[in-house]
Structure 1
């Protein structure tokens, strides 16, 4: 049945409305079958008695007389049954009346407790309010005490004021269990959890909400951690990671594994993950400044390491120069040094065969990929000592003297008329063409501040004949020679 006051459906076993507390009066059912049976028996007895009296008013004796004892016995049984049933009905009515009076009395007492509790709460006497609410809802007033949602929520508020949040939360969960659409109970629960920073409890509460209206009302209080577009792990190339949130709010993150806050970098778009290890830690902040649990994911980008280049010739002592060649298929560009340092992309890049340096030289080679990843460094040690008629120093002096003789220089020190600075000639390598061995001399211009600029002019001197030549590297990097005069 429904409550006459508020229309709420009332379970059969309840004596009060669960919504407003209105007391329901119960009346025993009318036993129609028994009453009809008694009436029918009375009619049969009356008919039987009439058949025993004749027209003259004298009693007749007939076969019907035989039926009279049977009917009398039946009437006697029915009368006894009727009396018994009637007695039972009277007893039940008395019990129900007493129970109703008890419940009415308890209900009145509960109402008084609730009124006093509300007054105590309004006056800030929260301990007294809690005591009165518990009397109103306590087991001493019957297990069928009305479940009044508003009063239960007020009871929870009093518990909260006394910092008894665990009990307040339990009461509010009971309200929601009875009334899943009770937005006020949800709101107060969320308020308590927010004050205690129990954001995960809010997530669980709303995730289990069965009412769409309540969920829409409070979904902005959820603090679900951000989602990452890529799983953590090792990658062979640079990647992009995107962060997203299922609710309205902001995402903040760090790239060094430290704990993020609202002062950290605000996520505005995809994050580039480059070589090495990167640990992204992100949080979600909802419109109510509530922060989710951090999510930390580590990425490592490890580019493929190029194979080490193959160098020819091998390390050793040489009396005749060789061209140094490099083979590095699919390994990127090869860089080299001649001062013993490891090569970088700022070092000399190998493009053509390299004339072997004079004297003792440590050369290092490395293939470096487009991603800047270096192969293992290959080291070669060469010692080139040319046995000839003239030395490299003689060859350099011969070039300067020849240029003075032609008028290109004022003196062997490389001075020229009207120019600050002078030319300088350096011999650092040698080359071989056929059976001839040549010292290679590069021309530089030295400025007054000491800086050197390579002019691009190259000379060569035959190590045996000491003849001077002009030298020019060919397409394959090997030199060609022509007489100077």
Structure 2
């Protein structure tokens, strides 16, 4: 059967067209005049006693009306029966999904309600219900499409973010660390170098690269890497931090002060915890002292270490605890201060000179003259001095003959010269005597 409105093919048992929603007419509308006309034509053919004009229209019309009413009632009954069967079938499905044991009860109740509802069902209401069902189904499909599209969008964004991260600075570092942990040093170095190229002002890539150098026992190469980075980016705190961490890890804390010495003031301010200032000296090394001195050292750090032999001090050198004695002569004092972070300062070096007042030329007896009997020459040697002499007219030095006691005057003419030398090698003036010994 086709719909008289839109031509849609309607399956058997359907009461409304699914395409346009219009009610299906199973039985044509009844017209009583058709029955009257049919009866007249039949009477004329059969040769009945009453002519066509004498036909009992009233009786026939009344009879036909009743018959039409009966037919319409029969049609409504059939429609109600079909609707009730359809409703019962739907109720039976619902009952079966709820459990086998309740199917009979559910069906009976649903059937009763369907029977009650179908008799009063409004065709327009049923049509609106079906249209509402279609709209809900359409919305469900739209929601499913939106959800699927959203999921696809999220997946695409995740893939894009993944590839962006993989090629980012952090992504290169992560891949390099993975390769390094697997022992693929060459691959790790490539990743870290790409990270440096992406952002050479950050420190993580330099630190990671230094680990590759150290794994190859190339500590000098690692240090050169940092020094070159500092030369290229002298104002970048992250590069300094990476270099400082390298020196601390390789037990070279003394080098930290070396790289911070010439760093810009703002960098030193940012890294103040690593800055270690050298100790201050209580004595001015430009002065020459004439007596033994005591040198005091002070510092804001945790400890001070020093040497007095000209060597560079470190944390294994003499720890300062009391003033340092500066003896006669020249003394070189070199000291460092170690701050709370364990970073030693650069050495502070000062050279002190202490010169005691020198004695005059030594006293020598006898005085210059001519002698006729055996005589001894005596030199007066003060404490702390050593006397040296010559008798060949040359000036005496520490390499000349050392005086140990009275000397017999040689026979004939003798030029005798004597000098005193203190403990620091300083020489006094030279005393000269001219002797002539003539023995009878």
Fold similarity call, TM over 0.5: no
TM-score class normalised by the smaller sequence: 0.3 to 0.5
Question: What's the TM-score, normalizing by structure 2?
Answer: 0.38
* Structure with more strand by fraction: 1
Structure of larger gyration radius = 2
